[in-house]
Amino acid sequence: MKSKPMLAYNSHNRQFPAPAPTTITVKITIIQVGKTKHSFFQEAEAEYQKRLKPLLNIETITLKEAEIPKGDPEAGRKLVKAKEAAEIIKNIPKDSYIIALDERGKQFTSLEFASFLNERMQQSTKNLVFIIGGPYGLEEIIKSQAKLLLSFSKLTFTHECIRTLLLEQIYRAHTILGGKTYHY
């Protein structure tokens, strides 16, 4: 006889399946193009990395931003995106659930995002990979390999800004699932 999954409750009294005891842990990898240049974003990223470190197996891979060649700017942007896509693909772990951040992607509330992450953990996803493109965005091949295109808003954010937002939302999702009072 199959037992019903245990339910966990968060601070909003919403139900989520309780994490099943397992030896498989989800590794979250954030692949991002280009260094974070502004100190205020660096500090915010470091703060959320520090908060997440005891909670999750999380790694950030920062790839070098390709330089746009002189000449035709449109052709140069396409070449940059293609070069960056090749580097991104090299860094995606095998058997990954790929989520590409894109302004035309699916939008979630924070509670829905927490539920989505919980579902991925329940389905024994080993590698959850978030991909953040550089200033020119992501090449279509990356978007086509993604199982989810994720958007944080209809607004456009800099690639530096979205990194902090992603880390904060992963942290927020973890507190929601854990019943913490960070999310009101």
Q: pLDDT digit string (tens) for 92-104?
A: 999 999 999 999 9
Q: Rounded to two decimals, what is the model's pTM?
A: 0.85
pLDDT-derived band at 156, boundaries 50, 70, 90 = confident
CATH number at residue 53: 3.40.1280.10
Mean pLDDT of the chain: 87
Per DSSP, the three-state class of 23 is coil
pLDDT at 3 over 80: no
157 burial level (CB within 10 Å; 0-12, 13-18, 19+): middle
Of the candidates 110, 78, 88, the residue with the CA atom closest to the CA atom of residue 177: 110
Both tokens assigned to 178 = 């854990």
105, part of any domain: yes
Q: Is residue 12 assigned to a domain?
A: no
pLDDT at 56 over 80: yes
How many residues does this entry show for the chain? 184
- Residue-level pLDDT at 122: 87
Nearest to 127, CA basis, from 165, 93, 175, 150: 93
* Rounded Cα–Cα distance for residues 127 and 31 (Å): 12
**Is the model more confident about 109 or about 156?**
109
Judge whether 146 lies within some domain: yes
Tell me: the pLDDT tens digits for 15-31?
555 544 333 478 999 99
Our measurement of the distance from residue 75's CA atom to the centroid of its chain's CA atoms, rounded to an integer in Å, reads 29
> Would you say 68 and 76 are in contact if contact means Cβ atoms under 8 Å apart?
yes
Is a pLDDT exceeding 80 seen at residue 2?
A: no
pLDDT at position 57? 93
- Strand order across the 127-132 sheet: 57-63, 27-33, 127-132, 96-106, 148-150
Q: What span, in angstroms and rounded, lies between the C-alpha atoms of 56 and 73?
A: 41
Could you tell me if residue 147 is inside a domain?
Answer: yes
Give, as one character, the DSSP assignment of residue 138.
-
Asked if 168 and 48 count as a contact pair (C-beta separation under 8 A), the reply is: yes
Instruction: Answer yes or no: is 182 within a domain.
Output: no
Q: Which domain holds residue 92?
A: 22-177
Residue 41, number of CB atoms within 10 A of its CB: 16
Domain presence at residue 49 = yes
Asked, for residue 66, whether it belongs to a domain, the answer is yes
Q: In the chain, at which residue ranges do the beta strands (DSSP E only) sit?
A: 7-9, 15-17, 27-33, 57-63, 96-106, 127-132, 148-150
Q: Is residue 34 part of a domain?
A: yes
Q: Report the number of distinct structural domains present in the chain.
A: 1
